[in-house]
Amino acid sequence: MSTAVQPRLKRIALLLAALCAATGARAHDTWFAAQPADGRGAVALSLGTGNQFPRYETGIGYEYLVKSGCRADARGATLPLQRAAEGRSELQLRVRTGGEPPASCWAQLAPFEVELPPEKIAVYFKDIQASAAVRDAWAQMSARGVPWKERYTKHARIALRSDAADAATPVNMAMDVLLESPQRPLASGQPLQFRVLRDGQPLPDFAVELRSALSPLGVWRKTDAQGRVAFVAPLPGRWVVRGVDLRLSETERDLWESRFVTLAFDVAAAR
């Protein structure tokens, strides 16, 4: 990473650490949102980070998208996500397809590091539904007086065309959520099926939350042995599924590593 990027990376990490402290150390997710077309033959998207979907609080520099792209269908080539503008609360992006809109777009961000005060950890655990193993490991570390140090990476995907099956096709991210629901287009009241992948492999017993843009309350489920989880979206509108895979580093002592993942999608009104 260039020396020009490093100071900004540090500033963003400090800002996010301050946000975590101010909001009780709740997990700050990163997600995509579709925007009105720009009228020049491109699809417009925004990408940002916030404490509560769907409101963004922190923007993202385009240079931190280490992996990203869009695809029209499961067999199509990857199209680049281009920077349109950067704001305080969101990064504006566009993709030019030359034909039909992309079925899905995705991004994996550069990793950041943060240190949290111990009194905020319980709220953080609640917000991500941390496992008993994670809680036990932290209790032992806390008893030794070890501070909470975490390296986190954000992964986001959006399903743009509810009639397309590409959102069920894995991409080259370290964490991913696939939309496997056979019913298309998606409609309220229908069962929704998702599959969570870590390093391309199904992630079992992983806590996933379904959230609506219309309510601050979400519904939690855990993935099965094949990494699958099912929900029902009772209302039309914007939705997101989110989860955080938190575990101790296998290479660095007393360092937590987390992978945040989101999948944004729209649900139509039932006919």
For the entire predicted model, the pTM comes to 0.88
The pLDDT score that the predictor gives to residue 26 is 60
Looking from the CA of 97 toward its CB, the CA atoms found within 13 Å total 17
Q: Do residues 202 and 195 make contact, with C-beta atoms less than 8 angstroms apart?
A: yes
Of all helices (H) and strands (E), which one includes residue 123?
Answer: helix 121-128
pLDDT digits (tens, 9 = 90+) for 214-244: 998 999 999 999 999 999 999 999 999 999 9
Residue pLDDT, tens place only, 175-191: 999 999 877 788 999 99
DSSP 263: E
pLDDT for the residue numbered 74 = 57
Residue 96's nearest CA partner among 80, 83, 107, 108 is 80
Overall average pLDDT of the 238-260 stretch: 98
Q: Is the pLDDT of residue 114 over 70?
A: yes
Where do the domains of the chain lie, and which CATH numbers do they carry?
A: 5-109 (no CATH), 117-151+161-267 (2.60.40.10)
Q: Are 165 and 172 in contact (CB under 8 A)?
A: no
Q: What is the pLDDT of residue 203?
A: 98
CA atoms in the 13 A half-sphere facing the CB of 79: 23
Per-residue pLDDT, 162: 60
**In whole angstroms, what is the distance from residue 49 CA to residue 28 CA?**
6
- Residue among 5, 257, 19, 41 at smallest CA distance from 150: 257
Phi then psi dihedrals of residue 141, to 5 deg: -65, -45
Those residues whose C-beta lies under 8 Å from the C-beta of residue 127, and which sit 6 or more positions away, are 25, 26, 27
Token look-up 């096709």 returns 169
pLDDT tens sequence across 63-95 = 999 999 998 765 678 899 999 999 999 999 999
Q: Residues 6 or more apart from 68 whose CB is under 8 A from it?
A: 80, 81, 105, 106, 107, 108
Q: Which residue has the tokens 């998207």?
A: 45
- Encoded amino acid at 35, one letter: Q
Position 215 scores a pLDDT of 92
DSSP 173-204: -SEEEEE---SSS-BTTSEEEEEEEETTEE--
25 closest CA partner among 114, 135, 143: 114
Determine the pLDDT at residue 75: 65
Query: Per residue in 34-74, pLDDT tens?
Result: 998 766 668 999 999 999 999 999 999 999 999 999 987 65
The C-alpha atoms of residue 235 and residue 212 are separated, in whole angstroms, by: 8
